[in-house]
Amino acid sequence: MYRRTALLMVAITLLFSTATAMAGGSRAQILFDQGHNQRFIIEEMGMLHLSGFAEIMRSKGAIVTSTTKILDGDALKNVTALVISGPFASLRTEEVDAVVRFIERGGRLAAMLHIGPPLSGLLARLDVYHSNGVLHERNNVIDIDTTFRLTGLSGSPLFAGLPQFSVYGSWALDPGKAGTALAQSSSEAWVDLNGDKVLSTGDAVGAFAVVVSGELGSGSFIVFGDDAIFQNRYLDDNNRRLADNLAGWLAGR
């Protein structure tokens, strides 16, 4: 058990110490996809937008831009890291292919779900899967049972200095055969499988992954079951620290 745990921690540490070779030693280029009907973007200052998250990335020395173009080889050329946060429209098959190639050649991907289906095709290629609806929690609830604090954090550098962070409508994630669950709900969480909006017979109950990571080719990815974590409104001390750690990883630090 100790050997297995040690090997797992080595793998996680290596994931977060990815060399900056793709950036050629220059400033990291972080690209936000905003071409799939995203409602929350980096150029806007409103409470639900991502301008604060983008500024945290810039504080790491990264060049941060966005695109509304199709995600193809040209759009991803010279990009170090790609962020796909809260799409409401699905990526095309050719876009999924391009993102997979981007990761395989050493790119980093951070993906955040607002609703699951728009990212289903890409996640399936990464052997990551999501629940049919958001998680309900019975521990560490903030106001309603779909908003809660996560304390089940792994020893990943993503959570350095963090006792917990908050989510505001997270889908459960399955890391597949090769992925790693980095953060989990409590064992009292549940998914409403039958759609009756109450915990009842047949619903899934247990500890569910909310953040997963994995590697593909020379690159790596992190998937979050919630996109609100990094919105301006929710960047409290813990979520801001998480954003800072993630930004460092995206920037190759």
- pLDDT tops 50 at residue 21: no
Q: Would you say 118 and 89 are in contact if contact means Cβ atoms under 8 Å apart? A: yes
> Which pLDDT score, from 0 to 100, does residue 3 have?
45
Residue 16 pLDDT: 55
- Domain residue ranges of the chain, discontinuous segments joined by +: 2-250
Confidence of residue 5 (pLDDT cuts 50, 70, 90): very low
* The predicted structure's pLDDT at residue 25: 54
* CA 1/CA 203 separation, integer angstroms: 31
Average pLDDT over residues 209-221: 98
Residue 4 has pLDDT above 80, yes or no: no
pTM strictly above 0.95: no
Fold of 2-250: Rossmann fold (3.40.50)
pLDDT digits (tens, 9 = 90+) for 38-58: 999 999 999 999 999 999 999
pLDDT, tens digit, for every residue of 95-140? Answer: 999 999 999 999 999 999 999 999 999 999 999 999 999 999 999 9
